[in-house]
A = this chain, B = another copy of it.
Amino acid sequence: MFGSVEEIAVRRLLSDSGWARLPQACLEDLLSIGSVVQLAQDAPLQGHVAIVLQGVMGAFRGRDLSDAAVTALYFPFDLIDLEELPNDGEDLLAALRPAQVLQFPASGFHAAVRKHPALAHEVTTRLKRQCHDLREHVAELTGKTPEHRLAAFLVWVAEMSVTDGDRMSFELPMRRYDMARYLGMQPETLSRKIKGLVDTGAISLRSPSRLVIEDRTALLTVAGTARRAA
């Protein structure tokens, strides 16, 4: 069912991630109803059940993508399930960079959940984890200064990213604008805070979107407490 390009990401999904723990029959059911979807930057995800394969998806809250808040981030292997919620048309999902997801029809996915207890357990666990992450994000938004939030965010993203050997260098998975809205500040403020961290030597920028953590300890000190790991 998959072309060769997509196969790589799906194969990783089935071997490296928590999903691999599921029984074989369950995985086959999932793969038989799922379809790999390529999403360009800013492309919305139609339908609301999917697993991220590559890239980062953002949950938006608001009428337009242009003025909506970024409320949550979904990294590879994260489950996206926004089905069966009060829908006032203000919940949107979009790719923050070009991304790839394994999408499911809601009915089929939920049928699989009913059929396979192990899948139900996996979904529950992931949802609890998402609640936990969101509460942590709330704690950062209510209790920390922009510097704190930025530092914690950078450490977190670095952990989620494949550092491909190159020390702590990684690609920021979204634009400044989206980062700012996720972190609850203005793009200008974000730019200044990043500059501040560069000036202190904690990080450095190879390009606007490629970042190197020069001094992780210093960054963690700024962040206060580290955020959850992958």
Contacts and interface: CB of A to CB of B under 8 A. Distances in A.
Interface stretch (A25-33, A127-135, A161-169): A127-135
A184 interface: yes
Interface residues of A, number: 46
B139 A84 contact: no
Interface in A51-99: 59, 61-62, 68-72, 81-86, 90-91
Contact of A59 (B85, B114, B135, B229): B135
Interface string A216-230: 000000000100110
Interface in A115-139: 117, 120-121, 123-125, 127-132, 134-139
A182 interface: yes
How many copies of this protein are present in the complex?
2
A134 B134 CA distance: 6
Contact of A127 (B71, B90, B114, B127): B127
A113 interface: yes
A137 B225 CA distance: 22
A84 B125 contact: yes
Contact of A69 (B62, B91, B143): B143
Contacts of A90: 225
Contacts of A136: 61, 71
A107 interface: no
Question: Lowest 6 A-B CB distances belong to which pairs?
Answer: A61-B139, A142-B184, A134-B134, A71-B135, A127-B127, A69-B139
